[in-house]
Chain A
Amino acid sequence: SAVISQKPSRDICQRGTSLTIQCQVDSQVTMMFWYRQQPGQSLTLIATANQGSEATYESGFVIDKFPISRPNLTFSTLTVSNMSPEDSSIYLCSVDFPSTDTQYFGPGTRLTVL
């Protein structure tokens, strides 16, 4: 099965700064998604990362706060901008492989904002 990696695995950041999270897959995938999981909560979809075009954001999430790139079929980044303590969460990328409708998750990035 494919390997999904995320960098960094965790970080502690100061408010007002930005952090870019990378998601790398070792094979080409059709869809890539970014989720947030706040402490004690379930997963909330932030956006779909579209290869070669702008990401599609869910209600409540905007590009200025969570810019996303997807330059090719194996890589995506999510930036959390102008962070506040409320952004402290686990950020997860997931991928959807060709000919399946099943999502698999990366290991996640645990972000703490002070």
Chain B
Amino acid sequence: QKEVEQNSGPLSVPEGAIASLNCTYSDRVSQSFFWYRQYSGKSPELIMSIYSNGDKEDGRFTAQLNKASQYVSLLIRDSQPSDSATYLCAVPSAGGGNKLTFGTGTQLKVEL
């Protein structure tokens, strides 16, 4: 089993809808989780971090963490065409040292 798994997509949603992106991880002891957004040809940009079970909201973004089920999700409300990008889930690597392991990313397309 891969350490971090994401559906590669593309996930297509209409403008104004809620986009739901999911990520599962294998290391039960992971304590922190990150969502990065990567536009085509650009480097990853951190958009959310979450450390505790439950929801964390930041503007139109909500991260949800369920450690028992080992999944973390990202909801984007009122999706805009500018949200079209690849979303990468990252968790600390098993080896420690602040290293991150990234999922393969989910491509999101927000259609007009």
Interface residues of chain A, those whose CB is within 8 Å of chain B, are 30-31, 33, 41-45, 48, 56, 90, 92, 96, 101-108
Contacts and interface: CB of A to CB of B under 8 A. Distances in A.
Interface in B55-112: 88, 90, 92-93, 97-105
Given A43-B44, A56-B97, A107-B43, A102 B103 contact: no
Contact of A108 (B43, B49, B103): B43
Given A92-B43, A103-B98, 19 more contacts: A30-B98, A31-B97, A33-B99, A42-B88, A43-B44, A44-B102, A45-B93, A45-B99, A48-B97, A48-B99, A101-B32, A101-B92, A101-B98, A102-B46, A103-B34, A105-B36, A105-B44, A107-B42, A108-B43
B7 to A, nearest CB: 13
Interface of B: 32, 34, 36, 42-46, 49, 88, 90, 92-93, 97-105
27 contacts: A30-B98, A31-B97, A41-B104, A42-B88, A42-B102, A42-B105, A43-B88, A43-B102, A45-B93, A45-B99, A45-B100, A48-B99, A56-B97, A90-B43, A96-B98, A101-B98, A102-B34, A102-B46, A102-B49, A103-B46, A104-B46, A105-B44, A105-B45, A106-B43, A107-B42, A108-B42, A108-B43
Contacts of B46: 102-104
The CB with the most chain B CB atoms within 10 A, among A33, A43, A56, A102, is that of: A43
Nearest to A43: B102
Contacts of B97: 31, 48, 56
The CB with the most chain A CB atoms within 10 A, among B36, B99, B102, is that of: B99
Contacts of B99: 33, 45, 48
Contacts of A41: 104
Contacts of A44: 102
Nearest to A90: B43
A51 B98 CA distance: 15
Contacts of A102: 34, 46, 49
A114 B46 CA distance: 33
What 6 A-B pairs are tightest by C-beta distance, nearest first? A105-B43, A108-B43, A42-B104, A43-B102, A42-B102, A105-B44
